Chains A and B, each alone.
Chain A
Amino acid sequence: MEQPKILIVDDEEDLTSTMVERLELRGFQVEATTSGIDALKRVSETDFGVLILDVKMPGIDGLQLMAEIKRQHLDLPVILLTGHGSAADAERGVTEGAFDYLMKPIALETLVEKIRSAIGSKEGSKS
């Protein structure tokens, strides 16, 4: 069965490119962008299964981006990444509809588990 596509949005290009490569090695189809505006465009063009969003980004930040995307794609699961010592913003994100959040630096295997749970939750909500 084909894996749902994942979109990673983070302004650290070195981070996104490496995460893409490592997730692809684990069988996922992954795209990445460093821009929130570009992410909005991609989400309107492609049927993603999971979004991974950095909370703090230049321009439109992760929480604003999530709110914008959820208007059109309410069921699309979002996993937030936060580089802040305090998880307050990410916790707020969960109350506003994010599936879950992870603090940076992340362990990729933990992210993979969250991605699988998020995909499962989306499939479950369809049936």
Chain B
Amino acid sequence: MAFFGRVGADISHETRNTLSIIGEYAGLLNDLLAMAEKGKPPDYEKLKGISAKIAKQVRRGTESMERFSRFAHAADERAASCDLTALARNVAALAQRRVALAGCRLEVKLPDRMLPVAANPFILQQAVFSAIELMLEFQEAGAVVTIKVLAEASTAVITISGNAPVAGSELADQVSQLTAIMKELQGSVDAHRAEGVLSLALSVPIQ
């Protein structure tokens, strides 16, 4: 539930920002109309620009709602399979604001095809989101966190990588929480540190 709450809070924040911008543009249109009523001729190019910016924010809000809808519907299902490519894309989009607040950038490298895996989508979402959050804890501003999906024989692997932390014990504790989530999926997690790069590879069986 805590995971659901964190994602919900991020979406709510994104929605409030989007609505704020739309509200300000609507207010600006009112201001300009009030000036036109007092005799200042309207600048039609400016009005067109504001209209386009409102439309852009409506698209942003719609995309955000669609992402949340996909996320929330995964919780409804007692599904035993899902498309890892689509799931990774959605979780990466949901995590964007969290990544931005940490001053980092998210790079997403996904296959251009579906990758059906035998895993409950809601638990897998939680695992991927938790792995991104864990990775962010060790990153400094300006770091790039990468999400990559690969198929290896009968296993699909989603790897989250970034700069390696200096201390090791804390990492072991937190990876153990991720391991518990992956066990529910009959999957596994492998934390690998080499040449300054930390990788968390989450493996699940291909369907």
Contacts and interface: CB of A to CB of B under 8 A. Distances in A.
B42 interface: no
- Give the dominant DSSP class at B's interface: helix
Contact of A15 (B21, B100, B103, B141): B21
B13 A83 contact: yes
B3 to A, nearest CB: 17
Contacts of A84: 9, 12-13, 16
Interface in A55-111: 56-59, 61, 83-85, 103-106, 108
A83 B141 contact: no
Given A57-B101, A58-B100, A58-B102, A104 B141 contact: no
B17 A18 contact: no
Contacts of A58: 100-103, 141
A104 B28 contact: no
Nearest to A14: B21
Nearest to B100: A58
A106 B17 CA distance: 10
Contacts of B20: 12, 15, 83, 104-106
Given A58-B101, A58-B103, A15 B17 contact: yes
A83 to B, nearest CB: 4
Interface residues of B, number: 23
A14 B102 contact: no
Contact of A83 (B16, B28, B35): B16
A56 B9 contact: no
A19 B24 contact: yes
A38 interface: no
- Give the dominant DSSP class at A's interface: loop
A104 B16 contact: yes
B21 A108 contact: no
Given A14-B57, A58-B102, A105 B9 contact: no
Contacts of A1: none
Most buried by B among A18, A25, A106: A18
Nearest to A12: B17
Contacts of B28: 18, 21-22
10 contacts: A14-B21, A15-B20, A18-B21, A18-B27, A22-B24, A59-B103, A85-B9, A105-B19, A105-B20, A106-B20
Given A58-B102, A61-B101, A108-B27, 9 more contacts: A14-B21, A14-B24, A14-B57, A15-B17, A19-B24, A22-B24, A56-B13, A59-B103, A85-B16
The 5 A-B residue pairs with the shortest CB-CB distance in the complex, in nearest-first order: A18-B24, A83-B16, A105-B20, A104-B20, A105-B23
